Amino acid sequence: MRLLLAEDDTVLADRLRTLLEEAGYVVLHSTDGSDAEYQGQVEDVAAAVVDLGLPGLDGLSVIERWRQAGRTFPVLVLTARSRWHDKLAGFDAGADDFLTKPFQPEELLLRLRALIRRSAGHASPRLSCGPLQLDVNAARFELDGVPLALSPQEYRILSYFMHHPDVVISRSRLGEHVYEAGFDPDSNTLDVLIGRIRRKLGSELIHTHRGQGFRLSAQP
């Protein structure tokens, strides 16, 4: 699952990027507002984290342009401003939630997961597909109640499937959400990773649709 992080503080951005990648996300990072606005227009992202004090184009303007262009992904705003009228301006621009600096990185992760769940229509923090369950808040899979050990890339693939059950997902779409850039759809890397996941699941949950992609379903 891809996220856009718009933050010009390189130290904070590195901390957040590491946190988000360890949680299974692919992170696109912008350090100025103009680039962030462009990335949000052309990239398929599940959510964005935006600092209001971006150089070039401020965060509020970035969010306004996204909304005017019909971009509906959830936006979590980072700000050093705690005044209510500043937050009101952010909500009016199209922000979905605010986090005031300084903050605990883990709180950002929890809020981001909640926004993504709501935008995808998932009210529950636990997703299920037959014997497989994903605890979204804990970023943990269980199979028949037993924790499932997955590599970061395996987690990203299976998490993306769990958020799109019974949907045939193409190789290129899946690859874009697992790798940051440069994915080769002709590579057999995805086949190897999905093969490993299938062996760990020990059941027929992931189905191959030749020429179309893959589907996660408890039904044949």
Q: How many CA atoms lie within 13 A of 131 on its CB side?
A: 13
Which range (9-18, 96-105, 181-190) has the least confidence? 181-190
- Whole-angstrom CA distances from 59 to 30, 46, 86, 148, 191 are 12, 18, 12, 39, 39
Give backbone dihedrals phi and psi of 120, rounded to 5 degrees, phi first: -90, 0
Query: Which tens digits make up the pLDDT trace of 38-79?
Result: 999 998 898 999 998 899 899 999 999 999 998 889 999 988
Query: Which tens digits make up the pLDDT trace of 108-150?
Result: 888 888 888 777 655 456 788 889 998 876 778 999 999 999 9
Q: What is the pLDDT of residue 102?
A: 82
Does 2-119 carry CATH code 3.40.50.2300? yes
Nearest CA among 160, 145, 164 for reference residue 3: 160
Q: Under CATH, which number does the domain 126-216 receive?
A: 1.10.10.10
Nearest CA among 89, 199, 98 for reference residue 149: 199
* CA–CA separation, 16 and 106 (whole Å): 9
Would the pLDDT of 158 be above 60?
A: yes
Whether the pTM exceeds 0.75: the reply is no
Q: What is the pLDDT of residue 124?
A: 55
| SS3 at position 153 | helix
Q: Is the peptide bond before 220 cis (omega within 30 degrees of 0)?
A: no
Sheet containing strand 140-143, edge to edge, reads 126-129, 132-135, 140-143, 146-147
Helices (H), 5-146: 10-22, 33-42, 59-68, 84-93, 105-119
Q: What is the pLDDT of residue 181?
A: 54
Would the pLDDT of 3 be above 60?
A: yes
Q: What is the pLDDT of residue 184?
A: 64
* CA–CA separation, 28 and 21 (whole Å): 10
Nearest CA among 43, 27, 36 for reference residue 8: 36
Q: Which residue has the higher pLDDT, 84 or 157?
A: 157
Instruction: Decide: 100 and 79 in contact? Cβ < 8 Å.
Output: yes
Residue 145 has what DSSP assignment?
A: T
* CA–CA separation, 77 and 51 (whole Å): 6
- When the pLDDT of each residue in the chain is averaged and rounded to a whole number, the result is 84
Question: Same fold for the domain at 2-119 and the one at 126-216?
Answer: no
Q: What is the pLDDT of residue 40?
A: 94
Q: Which residue has the higher pLDDT, 215 or 183?
A: 215
Structural domain boundaries of the chain?
2-119, 126-216
Which residue(s) pair with 129 in the sheet?
132
Q: Which residue has the higher pLDDT, 202 or 27?
A: 27
Mean of the pLDDT values across residues 155-183?
77
